[in-house]
């Protein structure tokens, strides 16, 4: 027997409709690329996202067409979030920190039809436009007057002129909630970047889950600052969850330095902020010498990399801000766990609470985790036994975009992280099996770094490993065996990297060794290498 309830598809257009109807005058603040502060609200975002819908209709783009963005966090990007997905087209958010060759590969793989970009990324777009034949329309996120004349990009249009030609009369179509809504590539695995293709349903369920009190605890009283970029897993879903609860949104644009972030927090009375540890490090370093305090900030979600204990302590003791340590992945939309305490933890001594808060946290309804040992058997949840971490849930990927076989093992997604889980369900990441380095919240493929090194005629073998770094969390170094009797200096090898990969991905150091340890299966033993070199 079926229940007798209404069936409503969970669609992203429903979120913007809701925010417009119920929180129309709630502000959306953006620091623009130009440096000024722009003020909008949910009503205006809804209206302009319907203008986008009409503009896309006019372009005759089929459902499922990919509309790409290379943009900072701001109101125009937010309008595209709703305008593109609301019409059953797919918003493909691209990470501008990648090398032009990587960007070209991603745009071609996604077969993007439209590419919208902030003017600060014009040089990047100029570097790729001739190599990305699928793109039919180039849109600069600016006013008509700001559009330079001779960019070399065919039929480049300004966003304001593009949407300005269309009115806002548009009825959002109703379609299957499993329809694709947005696409985000991750290089957090080996080989080429892989696309996580989210659906309306997964996005809405993730928004419901992440807004819960034990998770991000979001409400219409919040002023939310997503420092985490909108090109990185949809800014952890904050544009959607903020629309769902009617929160004020504050976008930092490209200004992520400590002073700019602090000023914005104070000016816009931010209550809740989210970002990777590197950004908060810059914020705290700015505030400490000035003895500056927060007048509104209550909590901050820190994730993407392990949050250092000193950061949690400093936020709590010096600023009375609660740190919520979170773990997630592009493949998980991204939230998997968040570290909020249970009732029984309320009276724990501060040092015990800190120990707990350092863990990546517990899952909430909608995601399941398990840890398996080397034999594929479940590990006990005692907070000590560790194993490969697997995830399952309504907002966890099944397959990567355009791949035929599922990304799952026995129905579970292998995260590439190694973790413990304690009796209360708190997970702690202890290692990573995937061969990648995370620097300032962004991935560096160690394989790419090794491939460049071994393409140097004087290099016999190379291994790239991560070393801990106080600012960036991890930085890459490359360990090299030279070919016999061929000279090579550290400086020569480092300059060999220039132009071959993004600048920030170039290793910090080169260590020359006689031999690199190899395991029984012929693989480089990176754990051994790390043990030997990082201790030394």
Which sequence positions are flagged as catalytic? 186, 331, 438, 443
**Of 451-490, which residues contact ligand AMP (CB under 6 A)?**
none
Contact segment (CB under 6 A) with ligand AMP among 102-110, 127-135, 297-305, 481-489 equals: 297-305
Separation between Cα atoms, residue 445 and residue 435, nearest integer Å: 7
Interface size with ligand AMP, residues (CB under 6 A): 22
Q: Pick one of 30, 40, 242, 330: the residue that binds ligand AMP (CB under 6 A).
A: 330
Asked if 188 interacts with ligand AMP (CB under 6 A), we say: yes
* Between 245 and 429, CB nearer to ligand AMP: 429
Rg (CA), the chain: 23
* Between 325 and 456, CB nearer to ligand AMP: 325
Asked if 186 interacts with ligand AMP (CB under 6 A), we say: yes
Distances (CA, A) of 505 to 178, 203, 221, 450: 36, 31, 40, 12
Tell me how far, at minimum, the Cβ of 51 lies from ligand AMP, in Å.
32
Separation between Cα atoms, residue 442 and residue 451, nearest integer Å: 19
Tell me how far, at minimum, the Cβ of 358 lies from ligand AMP, in Å.
10
Residue whose C-beta lies closest to ligand AMP: 330
Asked if 281 interacts with ligand AMP (CB under 6 A), we say: no
* Between 72 and 443, CB nearer to ligand AMP: 443
Q: Which two tokens stand for residue 483?
A: 């070919």
Yes or no: say if 17 and 50 are a contact pair by the CB < 8 Å rule.
no
Tell me how far, at minimum, the Cβ of 434 lies from ligand AMP, in Å.
7
CB proximity list for 344: less than 8 A, separation 6 or greater: none
* Between 135 and 302, CB nearer to ligand AMP: 302
Contact segment (CB under 6 A) with ligand AMP among 30-38, 93-101, 302-310, 479-487 equals: 302-310
**Which of 314, 328, 319 minimizes the C-alpha distance to 275?**
328
* Between 29 and 311, CB nearer to ligand AMP: 311
**Of 121-140, which residues contact ligand AMP (CB under 6 A)?**
none
CB proximity list for 437: less than 8 A, separation 6 or greater: 443, 444, 446, 464, 465, 466, 474, 475, 476
Tell me how far, at minimum, the Cβ of 324 lies from ligand AMP, in Å.
10
Total residues found in the chain within this entry = 536
**Which of 106, 202, 191, 206 minimizes the C-alpha distance to 398?**
202
**Of 389-448, which residues contact ligand AMP (CB under 6 A)?**
415-417, 429, 432, 438, 443
* Between 188 and 246, CB nearer to ligand AMP: 188
* Between 158 and 186, CB nearer to ligand AMP: 186
Tell me how far, at minimum, the Cβ of 268 lies from ligand AMP, in Å.
26
Contact segment (CB under 6 A) with ligand AMP among 108-116, 141-149, 329-337, 502-510 equals: 329-337
Tally: H helices and E strands in the chain:
16, 24
Contacts 24+ apart (CB under 8 A), 233-236: 233/184, 233/196, 233/328, 233/329, 233/330, 233/333, 233/334, 234/81, 234/93, 234/182, 234/184, 234/198, 234/203, 234/333, 235/73, 235/274, 236/210, 236/274, 236/301, 236/303, 236/326, 236/328, 236/334, 236/335
Binding to ligand AMP by CB under 6 A, coded x per residue (else -) over 214-243, reads -------------------x----------
Q: Pick one of 304, 366, 414, 476: the residue that binds ligand AMP (CB under 6 A).
A: 304
Separation between Cα atoms, residue 434 and residue 413, nearest integer Å: 13
**Of 352-381, which residues contact ligand AMP (CB under 6 A)?**
360
Q: Pick one of 193, 195, 252, 303: the residue that binds ligand AMP (CB under 6 A).
A: 303
Distances (CA, A) of 138 to 122, 396, 432: 11, 32, 39
Q: Pick one of 198, 231, 280, 327: the residue that binds ligand AMP (CB under 6 A).
A: 327
Tell me how far, at minimum, the Cβ of 168 lies from ligand AMP, in Å.
35
Tell me how far, at minimum, the Cβ of 188 lies from ligand AMP, in Å.
4
- 396 CA to centre of own chain: 15
DSSP assignment letter at 254: T
Work out the number of other CB atoms within 10 angstroms of the CB of residue 484.
Answer: 7
Asked if 306 interacts with ligand AMP (CB under 6 A), we say: yes
CB proximity list for 134: less than 8 A, separation 6 or greater: 107, 108, 111, 112, 113
Q: Which residue has the tokens 């305490």?
A: 341
Work out the number of other CB atoms within 10 angstroms of the CB of residue 417.
Answer: 21
Contact segment (CB under 6 A) with ligand AMP among 116-124, 175-183, 262-270, 327-335 equals: 327-335
Tell me how far, at minimum, the Cβ of 368 lies from ligand AMP, in Å.
16
Tell me how far, at minimum, the Cβ of 395 lies from ligand AMP, in Å.
13
Separation between Cα atoms, residue 83 and residue 457, nearest integer Å: 51
Q: Which two tokens stand for residue 356?
A: 């707990």
* Between 162 and 185, CB nearer to ligand AMP: 185
Residues that bind ligand AMP (CB under 6 A): 186, 188, 233, 303-306, 325-330, 334, 360, 415-417, 429, 432, 438, 443
């Amino acid at each position: 027997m079926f229940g007798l309830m209404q069936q409503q598809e969970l669609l992203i257009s429903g979120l913007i409709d809701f925010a417009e109807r119920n929180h129309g005058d709630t502000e959306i603040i953006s620091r623009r690329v130009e440096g000024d502060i722009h003020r909008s609200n949910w009503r205006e975002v809804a209206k302009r996202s319907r203008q986008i819908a009409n503009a896309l209709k006019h372009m005759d783009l089929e459902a499922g067409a990919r509309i790409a963005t290379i943009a900072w966090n701001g109101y125009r990007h937010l309008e595209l979030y709703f305008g593109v997905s609301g019409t059953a087209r797919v918003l493909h958010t691209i990470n501008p920190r990648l090398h032009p060759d990587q960007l070209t590969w991603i745009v071609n793989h996604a077969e993007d039809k439209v590419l919208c970009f902030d003017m600060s990324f014009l040089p990047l777009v100029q570097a790729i436009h001739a190599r990305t034949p699928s793109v039919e329309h180039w849109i600069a996120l600016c006013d008509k007057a700001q559009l330079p004349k001779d960019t070399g990009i065919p039929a480049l249009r300004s966003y304001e002129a593009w949407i300005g030609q269309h009115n806002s009369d548009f009825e959002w179509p109703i379609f299957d909630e499993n329809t694709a809504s947005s696409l985000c590539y991750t290089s957090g695995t080996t080989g080429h970047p892989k696309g996580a293709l989210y659906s309306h349903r997964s996005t809405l369920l993730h928004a419901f889950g992440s807004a819960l009190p034990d998770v991000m605890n979001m409400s219409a009283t919040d002023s939310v600052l997503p420092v985490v970029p909108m090109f990185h897993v949809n800014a952890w879903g904050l544009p959607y969850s903020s629309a769902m609860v009617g929160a004020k949104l504050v976008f930092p644009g490209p200004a992520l330095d400590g002073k700019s972030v602090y000023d914005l927090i104070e000016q816009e009375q931010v209550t809740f902020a989210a970002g990777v540890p590197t950004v908060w490090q810059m914020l705290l370093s700015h505030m400490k010498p000035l003895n500056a305090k927060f007048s509104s900030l209550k909590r901050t979600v820190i994730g993407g990399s392990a949050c250092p204990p000193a950061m949690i302590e400093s936020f709590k003791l010096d600023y009375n801000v609660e740190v919520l340590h979170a773990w997630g992945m592009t493949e998980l939309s991204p939230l998997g766990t968040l570290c909020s305490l249970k009732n029984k933890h309320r009276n724990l001594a501060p040092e015990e609470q800190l120990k707990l808060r350092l863990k990546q946290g517990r899952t909430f309804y909608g995601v399941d985790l398990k840890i398996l040992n080397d034999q594929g058997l479940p590990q006990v949840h005692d907070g000590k036994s560790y194993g490969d971490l697997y995830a399952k849930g309504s907002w966890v990927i099944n397959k990567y975009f355009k791949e035929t076989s599922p990304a799952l093992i026995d129905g579970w997604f292998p995260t590439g992280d190694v973790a413990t889980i304690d009796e209360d369900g708190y997970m702690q990441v202890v290692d990573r099996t995937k061969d990648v380095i995370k620097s300032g919240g962004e991935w560096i493929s160690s394989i790419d770094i090794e491939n460049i090194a071994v393409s140097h005629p004087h290099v016999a073998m190379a291994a790239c490993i991560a070393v801990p770094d106080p600012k960036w969390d991890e930085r890459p170094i490359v360990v090299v065996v030279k070919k016999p009797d061929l000279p090579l200096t550290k400086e020569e090898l480092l300059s060999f990297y220039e132009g071959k990969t993004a600048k920030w991905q170039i290793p910090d150091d080169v260590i020359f060794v006689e031999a690199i340890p190899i395991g029984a299966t012929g693989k480089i033993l990176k754990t051994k290498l790390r043990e030997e070199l990082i201790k030394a």
